[in-house]
Amino acid sequence: MDSTRQNKISRLIQKELSDILLRLAKETRGIMVSVSVVRVSPDLGIAKAYLSVFPSEKGNEVVEHLNSNIKAIRFELGNRVRHQLRIIPEVRFYLDDSLDYIEHIDELLKN
């Protein structure tokens, strides 16, 4: 149960992170990354970004790479939202495997 403020900040961060990752994705050929959802903590200090990666085999590799470059990503995020937010949240990336789970359930139902 998120507040209206948390939802607005989540959408803003999701939009800006998707733009940042789009720029970074031009460097990596053959991998498509999208930001599924961003959840912001009640104190607005931590943002958990869930990523969908295609192909899904490279998902963990992409998330580890992004988490290792988190300072540069947070700096660019801060430059983009500095006039809209007082506190730039710490960003943590996680793999969103909901599509893989749906495919797995679909296969089980077919059998």
Per-residue pLDDT of the chain (111 residues; tens, 9 = 90+): 578 989 999 999 999 999 998 888 777 778 888 899 999 999 989 999 999 888 878 888 888 888 998 999 999 999 999 999 888 999 999 998 777 777 788 888 887
SS3 74: helix
Non-local (6+) Cβ contacts of 32 within 8 A are: 25, 53, 54
Q: Check: CATH 3.30.300.20 for 4-110? A: yes
Are 94 and 37 in contact by the 8 Å Cβ rule? The answer is no
Instruction: Name the token pair of 59.
Output: 């998902």
User: Could you write out the DSSP letters of every residue in 7-31?
Assistant: HHHHHHHHHHHHHHHHHHHTTSTT-
pTM of the entire structure? 0.83
Rounded CA separation 104/111 (Å): 11
Residue 105 neighbours by CB distance under 10 Å: 10
